[in-house]
Structure 1
Amino acid sequence: MTTVYQTIRVRFQEPVCFIQFYRPEDNNTINDLLLTECTQALRQYQDVATVFVLEGLPEVFCFGADFKAATGDGEKLGPEPLYDLWMQLATGPFISVAHVRGKANAGGIGFVAACDIVIADDSAQFSLSELLFGLLPACVMPFLVRRIGFQKAQYLTLMTRPVSVQQAHAWGLVDAFDSQSDALLRTHLLRLRYLSRQGIQRYKRLMHALYDLSQSRSLAIDANREVFSDRDNLQRIERYVKTGLFPWESEP
């Protein structure tokens, strides 16, 4: 029986499972339901898929946390499910591929950095905007530093502005890009299909042992909780949700 999802679209073409973020009305931002559904899809297919491909929409891959959900009432899952989902992409017994088109921002960078391979088209842009609101890309950083190194991750964090796909490729955040990224993705998948499940499992186990992301989990989660419990930060976020104005902009 096919599972019906609200925030993602899933299709399985053996041995590849495609997971598409699908919140077009909300810029493909991350809410609790998206985290729950992505985690569920990984669990459902990881015994039959050797490759998972994460995709967004042509204009936006994923734009980070849903600020409307962050400032709304009701119980929230907290940062643990997000970090654990990225951990599963980074260490699970499969090859994870991010196919990035358009904008990837904040938590969207976390999805990108957690994946084993990153394919992009020439419209892709990459940014970390958290510090503009007094926040930190706390959960993103262990994955991003692992992928591109400390100083490049720091520069991307402090400057808060988007970088082009060409720059992201030079830094190692993107492995390959082309104006026809669908064709580029197919070429990669044709090769990845040759890898055995056992070989992938052994390889991922080794890589996790070489760079253990679980050691950074508590530090990242504590930092995330700190900035999202700061009253001033929450006021900045709420104002942005209501007006679309950044903290330094004056209301007309």
Structure 2
Amino acid sequence: MDLLSRGWETLQVRLEDEVCFIRIHRPDAGNAINDMLVEEMSAALAACDQAAKVVVLEGQPEVFCAGADFRQIEQRLDAGDADGGQHPEPLYRLWQKLACGPYVTIAHVKGKANAGGIGFVSACDIVLSDDKATFGLSELLFGLMPACVLPFLIRRVGFSKANYMTLTTQPVSAALAREWGLVDACDENSDKLLRAQLLRLRRMGKTGIARYKRYAAALDDSLQRSMAPALAANVEVFSDADNLEKIARFVRTGRFPWEGQP
């Protein structure tokens, strides 16, 4: 089915001259990652194998992606699913597709990118942001860890910076993310940055891009090697009943684990 003719529940997708714009569109859920988002974006990227030479991933003006959909996890816990229905492999493979697929991927970030949102950011070839964007890993606040994010983030910024973001749980500014290499360019007008990148990228041939991406993936197989331990660590933290109770309590009350009862 043509990219332009399919209906999407969690995305807004348009194709313009071999550039596919994919916007995460779950404004009522903070652009959180649920199963449908993973399924739909995987389908969109599969269509881009033939249709696009550049993929631009965007979010909403105030939030790029807030991470896992805690409400979906809480609903599954209520339905009796012991681990909240967490099956991390499809999401990991989606990020791997962004990193290694036969097109240039650009994350265009405005607002907040948090937790799994950092997975989308760090998986892309090029990261552009406005100067008010923030980047954070909040997982340890709930006893979790960014298990599947870290192979992609380490590949971008190195272990020490990824470790710092994980342990502090504090978001970093666009300027600091630019200094660390998580962001390639930031500006008050990030749309201008994107237009400048696309002006050059549109001149490249898809065959050349696909060959280069295939070669680059062969030079660095860290994402494939890291997949098994990343998935195992994700399953471990989401199988911990105490962690899942913290998530469910946050959804019900909006209170963090260290906050007392209202």
Normalised-by-shorter TM-score class: over 0.9
- Answering whether residue 12 of structure 2 is matched by residue 9 of structure 1, we say yes
2:95 maps to which of 61, 86, 97: 86
- Answering whether residue 117 of structure 2 is matched by residue 108 of structure 1, we say yes
Counterpart mapping for 1:73-222 below 5 A:
73=76, 76=85, 78-212=87-221, 213-222=223-232
Q: How much has 1:125 moved relative to structure 2?
A: 0.1
Q: Deviations over 1:193-249 (max 9, x none)?
A: 111112111211121112111111111001000000100000000010011111101
Distance across 2 between alignment mates of 1:135 and 1:96? 28
- Answering whether residue 64 of structure 2 is matched by residue 61 of structure 1, we say yes
Distance across 1 between alignment mates of 2:198 and 2:71? 36
CA contact (8 A) 1:32 1:77 kept: no
Give the CA RMSD over aligned residues: 1.1
Higher mean Cα deviation, 113-122 or 189-198? 189-198
Distance across 1 between alignment mates of 2:175 and 2:261? 36
Aligned residues: 252
Amino acid at match of 1:183: K
CA contact (8 A) 2:86 2:238 kept: no
Distance across 1 between alignment mates of 2:220 and 2:148? 16
Distance across 2 between alignment mates of 1:239 and 1:22? 26
Q: How much has 1:49 moved relative to structure 2?
A: 0.4
Report SS of the residue matched to 1:47.
helix
Q: How much has 1:44 moved relative to structure 2?
A: 1.7
Provide structure 2 residue ranges, at least 5 long, that are not aligned to the other structure: none
Provide structure 1 residue ranges, at least 5 long, that are not aligned to the other structure: none
Q: Deviations over 1:174-205 (max 9, x none)?
A: 00011111111011011111111121112111
**Deviating runs (4+, > 4 A) in structure 1?**
none
State TM-score, norm by structure 2. 0.94
Q: How much has 1:46 moved relative to structure 2?
A: 2.2
